[in-house]
Amino acid sequence: MSDDPEYTYEIEGERGVLTLKGDWNVHTLGRVEQALASLDLGGVSSLETDLTNIGQLDTAGAFLIDRTASQSGLESSQTKGASQQATSLLEQARSLRPPPEQHGSRSEPHGFVDLLERTGRTVMNLANETIDTLAFLGETIVSMLKMFVRPTRMRWTAFVSVMEESGLDAVPIVAFLSFFVGMVIAFIGATTLEAFGATIFTVELVGIAVLREFGVVLTAVILAGRTNSAFTAQIGAMRMRQEVDAMTTLGLDPMDVLVVPRAYAMLIMTPVLTLVAVLFGIGGGAFVSWLALEINPTVFFGRLRDFVPIENFWVGMSKAPVFGMIVALIGCRQGLLVGGSVQSLGQSTTRSVVQALFSIIVVDALFAVFYMELGI
């Protein structure tokens, strides 16, 4: 039989003394919660909570006591006569206390200074995120090299499973979208070049655009939205269920078990998917050229072979492993950063896709500058 919670409040000079008695737990708090919330603590500068005669205390009671002290708005508050268990519960409740600015009606500042502050904070966050990502890249490369030296450490079942899920299962959507992108490029070329009487050059336009840029970039974008988010969700769910911690307890390195198989799978499957995208993209361009421009496939592929250098194909294929590594790296890293809540999983998945897309576009631009300087 639990004792009803009771309290008395006295003022001693400039200090208020709140004395608690009985059991303060989730089953009894409803009897005093409203009265305690309406307690007037004005006229004093500090509050002392006496827990000498308190009975049972759980986290709900500790939270109510801490809330009373924190919302009083006094300069200081302290406890007296608390047992070790009660002190631990109060410290836990205090650690979960929201920041002070959330209690008031503080309006968000606006103006030039605030703009500079938010800009600086964003730049610092971007710099820190870049440094952390590069550090994770280094750790991943080291783990991959160790796995390459000792292949027996590879989780071959996970490796093959990731190759199937991220590679083979993505072939239909990559082929479908690449075919229609090739058609769009051919339509744009035909419409633009028709004014100059040079519609035959649509073949070169489709060939260079698909071989050099659109094939690999479209593949990377599809993987960033499909595979990257899957990596983050899978590893994030394991983090939420504490499976990653269990691996560490068993002496297994999460990098070897979760990251390395996905990185190797993407290094292999991204060039394969890029080749599929190139073939179907050129096929879409040839299809439009045949129907709309009356350029039969024999002429199309003959001109493609004679006037589009093979270097364009190798330029596109050289980007594929890098983009695959970006997708695996960011997806796995954001998955390992997931906390214990579903909200954290959603935020990490969104952040993962955005970072992957941003990185792919930036790296592709760097590749373009690099190959332009080389004259390729």
What is the H or E stretch that residue 78 is in?
A: strand 76-80
CA distances from 76 to 17, 70, 73, 351 (A): 12, 9, 9, 41
- Distance, CA of 221 to CA of 207 (rounded, Å): 20
Q: Which residue has the higher pLDDT, 19 or 73?
A: 19
What does the DSSP assignment read for 292-357?
A: HS---HHHHHHHHHHHS-THHHHHHHHHHHHHHHHHHHHHHHHHHT--SSHHHHHHHHHHHHHHHH
Residue 108 banded pLDDT, cuts 50, 70, 90: low
Residue 350 is encoded by which pair of tokens?
């969104």
Per-residue confidence (pLDDT) for residue 116, from 0 to 100 = 87
What does the domain layout of the chain look like in residue ranges?
6-102, 136-374
CB contact at 8 A, 310 and 360? no
Average pLDDT rounded to a whole number, residues 217-229: 92
* Class in CATH terms, 6-102: alpha beta
Helices 215-240, 342-374: inter-axial angle, 10-degree rounding = 150
Instruction: Look up residue 133 and give its amino acid.
Output: T
Q: Residues 6 or more apart from 85 whose CB is under 8 A from it?
A: 57
For residue 105, pLDDT over 50 is answered with: no
Average pLDDT rounded to a whole number, residues 91-96: 76
- Distance, CA of 313 to CA of 329 (rounded, Å): 25
Lowest mean pLDDT among 65-79, 213-227, 263-277: 65-79
DSSP state of 255: I
- Distance, CA of 30 to CA of 20 (rounded, Å): 15
Per-residue confidence (pLDDT) for residue 358, from 0 to 100 = 92
**Cα 346 from chain centroid (whole Å):** 8
pTM of the model as a whole? 0.68
Residue 281 banded pLDDT, cuts 50, 70, 90: very high
- Distance, CA of 210 to CA of 269 (rounded, Å): 19
SS3 at position 250: coil
Residue 132 is encoded by which pair of tokens?
């952390």
- Distance, CA of 355 to CA of 367 (rounded, Å): 18
Per-residue confidence (pLDDT) for residue 109, from 0 to 100 = 56
Per-residue confidence (pLDDT) for residue 1, from 0 to 100 = 44
For residue 144, pLDDT over 50 is answered with: yes
Q: Within 13 A of 343's CA, how many CA atoms are on the CB side?
A: 0
Residue 103 banded pLDDT, cuts 50, 70, 90: very low
Q: Residues 6 or more apart from 121 whose CB is under 8 A from it?
A: none
Lowest mean pLDDT among 170-179, 281-290, 315-324, 334-343: 334-343
For residue 97, pLDDT over 70 is answered with: no
Average pLDDT rounded to a whole number, residues 288-292: 87
What is the H or E stretch that residue 16 is in?
A: strand 15-24
Q: Residues 6 or more apart from 102 whose CB is under 8 A from it?
A: none
Share of the chain above pLDDT 90, in %: 30
Per-residue confidence (pLDDT) for residue 74, from 0 to 100 = 61
For residue 104, pLDDT over 50 is answered with: no
CA distances from 373 to 189, 315, 365, 367, 376 (A): 27, 13, 13, 10, 8
Q: Which residue has the higher pLDDT, 98 or 50?
A: 50
Residue 94 banded pLDDT, cuts 50, 70, 90: confident
